[in-house]
Amino acid sequence: MVSGKKYPQNFRALRILTEEMLRNLLQQNPEITSIDDLPNCLNERSERSKTTQLWRDTLVNGVFIMTAFVRGAHEQDVPLQLAAVKARLPYFAAAGCHNYLRYGSFYIHYMESLPAECLKQLKNDCGLRLIPGLNN
């Protein structure tokens, strides 16, 4: 994952790179009509090619996870943000970021144990933007 004070610029560059990598795939497959169809197509292609599997596992999945995390934070979507944090934990373990792994697990456990009223209050109070969309 990307870290540091250049996070927004690096994340934007990775997102553009991923969009360009997937552009040809999306143009060749008109049956991909939603974001839910894309992982199935990528899995199908990665079974045929080890290079596709490497790009899918190292770049595309990571960018999708980071996009979901940022979108959950900006749109105040606590379940999406928790799902993204859960998906990031194996990446933290692989990168040797043991503190992120330890405290990320604690964060997930703590947030899942909160009552629904607290999560609703978090949704109302802890957001950056109120407009849903691609830019979030």
Q: What is the 3-state secondary structure (H, E, C) of the chain?
A: CCCCCCHHHHHHHHHHHHHHHHHHHHHHCCCCCCCCHHHHHHHHHHHHCHHHHHHHHHHHHHHHHHHHHHHHHHCCCHHHHHHHHHHHHHHHHHHCCHHHHHHHHHHHHHHHHCCHHHHHHHHHHCCCCCCCCCCC
pLDDT in tens, 33-71: 887 888 888 898 899 999 989 999 889 999 999 999 888
**In this structure, are residues 108 and 90 in contact, taking their beta carbons and an 8 Å threshold?**
no
What's the confidence (pLDDT) of residue 34? 82
* 122, pLDDT greater than 80: no
Q: Rounded CA gap, 63 and 56, in Å?
A: 10
* 16, pLDDT greater than 70: yes
pLDDT in tens, 83-96: 999 999 998 998 89
